[in-house]
Amino acid sequence: MFTLRTENLAKRFGPRKVFSGINFEITTGQSLAVVGHNGSGKSTLLKVLLAQLRPTKGKVEFARDNGPMDDAAIRDQVSFVAPYLTLYDHLTAEENLKFFATVAGDSITGKQVDSLLARVGLEGRGLDDVVGYSSGMKQRLKYAVAMLKKPAFLILDEPTSNLDQEGKEIVFNLIDEYRKESIIIIATNETEEYQLAEQICRLGQ
């Protein structure tokens, strides 16, 4: 059983308060939508959760069976997709997938790569350089990278950004598939996306 909890989390950029007093605790099988108007700090909150920004106050704890997880264990269990997450443009999709699998401590066969690419609707494009992909195809490839592992924490920032209807279906199916075994956090303004989560954290109020 995994848990993600925050305690009185606050973030400031200089004199500007982004958010404060964020408290939540979610466990495996639960999902949380982070909602709020543009600039309310949704992406900032996700970056704080992912330890990419230091909170001004409060703390974030990733726990497994109530024991805190170290950095390596968190890296092993977190998958993150966001429009500002960039893969290597001058590598092919297959090279990107193999690279991210290997640095995460796994190995992946060509067959598994093909299967992952097919799941995100990129079959037959594995040998193309990512630089030639459209923004929607790049977003799909990020989901393929996220699916390299069965994450205990699936964190999505604007999950259907740049995606067409077929791409959105892929994301919704992924969320459904991981719902029971993962903690899912979605930062969004789209009604159809935040309705996928059971709990809501509103920012900018």
Residue 78 lies near other proteins (rule: CB under 8 A): yes
Beta bridge partners of 34: 187, 201
Residue 141 to residue 146: CA distance in whole angstroms? 9
Residue 173 lies near other proteins (rule: CB under 8 A): no
Supply the DSSP string of 113-144, one letter for each residue.
HHHHHHHTT-TT-TTSBGGGS-HHHHHHHHHH
Residue 49 lies near other proteins (rule: CB under 8 A): no
Q: Tell me 86's DSSP state.
A: -
Q: How remote is the C-alpha of 1 from its chain's centroid?
A: 19
Residue 157 to residue 155: CA distance in whole angstroms? 7
Residue 143 lies near other proteins (rule: CB under 8 A): no
From the CB of 50, what's the least distance to other proteins, in Å?
A: 6
Residue 8 lies near other proteins (rule: CB under 8 A): no
Residue 97 to residue 95: CA distance in whole angstroms? 5
Spell out, one character per residue from 108 to 137, where the chain touches other proteins: x when CB under 8 A holds, - when not. xx--x--xx---------------------
Residue 59 lies near other proteins (rule: CB under 8 A): no
H or E stretch at 155: strand 153-157
From the CB of 46, what's the least distance to other proteins, in Å?
A: 11
Of 6-14, 93-101, 164-172, 178-186, the window that binds other proteins (rule: CB under 8 A) is: 93-101
Of 20-28, 48-56, 120-128, 161-169, the window that binds other proteins (rule: CB under 8 A) is: 48-56
Residue 46 lies near other proteins (rule: CB under 8 A): no
Residue 104 lies near other proteins (rule: CB under 8 A): yes
